Structure 1
Amino acid sequence: MADDAQKNPEDTQAAEAPEIEDDGGIPMPSDDDALAAEATGPQAAPVDPRARLEELEAEAADLRDKLLRALAETENVRRRGQRDREEASKYAISSFAREMVVVADNLRRALEHVAPDARQKDELLESLAAGVEMTERAMLAAFERFGIRPIESLGQKFDHNLHEAMFEVEDPAQPAGTVVHEMEKGYVLDDRLLRPARVGVSRGGPRQPNGGAEAAPSPDAKAAAKEHRAAYEKQTDAQGEAAGSKGAKLDEKL
């Protein structure tokens, strides 16, 4: 028995396999036949190549439009960032420059309060005034290197972008709207206003055309401007003394 099983393994497998009953001669469909029937069955609608091409072209156009918009937005962000960096680098010293122009104002006031006759008579006063002038020139040169420039106002047409009108002077000899006195010099940092010039403006005479020639202020205008300047300096000195007294009180408290 064992020898027969080893000699005829195919006969053994045929004996163990179950018999398939005949169902009337109809063949059983295989898996390949089922897949082919699904692919070619009536439920698979035919694809129109032209419609599919139009659909793909529309999708490609939409993706191209989105890509161009994203690139444009990225470029705008880059330009804004570059402009912000340039402005931050250019105008970073604005606060410091506003404080330094006050020092330049005080140097100029100190020189204006020294009479030329007194300088000629007193050698020590002459040396002191010369030192202050050298300091002022060095400071103005440093301003120029960093883009800080004074505003030339006297005899110019009043410009609200650069000037701050403090008072008006009746002066028929001057065109109306002409700056006849400068109480405090203005400055610009590159192309941006750092501090407006505080000026006195004439309100008599004909209107000054654009680009009109510079005219000298009349004696009445000079006297009125001098009075206003003295009042302004007195007010400034009083504010400085008040600030100093507050600082002294604070030091004592500390």
Structure 2
Amino acid sequence: MIDVRKRYGLIDALRGVTIRVRPGEVVGLVGDNAAGKSTAMKVLSGAVIPDSGEIRVNGLRTEFANPREARDAGIGMVYQDLALCDDLDVAANLFLGREPRTAGGLFLDKRRMHAEARRHLDALRIRIPLTSVTVRNLSGGQRQAVAIARAVSFDPHVLILDEPTAALAVTEVETVLELIRTVSARGVSVILITHRLQDLFRVCDRLTVMYEGTVRTELDARATSLDQLVTEIVGGHVTEDGAATPGTESAKERVHP
């Protein structure tokens, strides 16, 4: 997205935001509350129409009026609530709304659906033994994996993940991070939004910091420390003991465990 602006009444939610992500790159998008992260990603995913600016996919300018058009253009998003159907099985969730049919299209081809679901999960190295298990009976990490797998099944160029490791156990966090690495290795650009700052350094190539509706800075994840990142997020100086300058919270209060 290039020079994107969005205003709500007297509030400038986005003030000339430019965010670029290369094929196969993982970019961490961070910022304080009301920094503009959510609005920027809603614009990119088609949920919000910007007042001005442009979006380019593979160098081509594109416009869309809703998330379906954005998905068709190659931009997918997995929201924090995942939007899964708990009472349906894994295969049904992966193919919801586009279920394979038997010849003539009269009946659902369950055998084919489960076979294709198995191949898709295996290709992403997602360890769910049965595609017939209902989503309600999956762990938090497995549910997140199913949601990501469904988004990847649409062959996106860009995949936005909103807090994918929130409220997960340590082992499940590692599973999700490994899935992000697998997805990016397929050439998919990933934009990761998370308050678990330590996760960013494990999977991200670059870090984009938003502040008050603008992109404050872009950082090389491998050359940036956690303290430096927190300093940019709060928009002020953070001392060595983690205390922020007057008017901002301490660094320790900003970092989620």
TM-score (norm 1): 0.25
Structure number having the greater strand percentage: 2
Which structure has the larger Rg?
1
Structure number having the greater helix percentage: 1
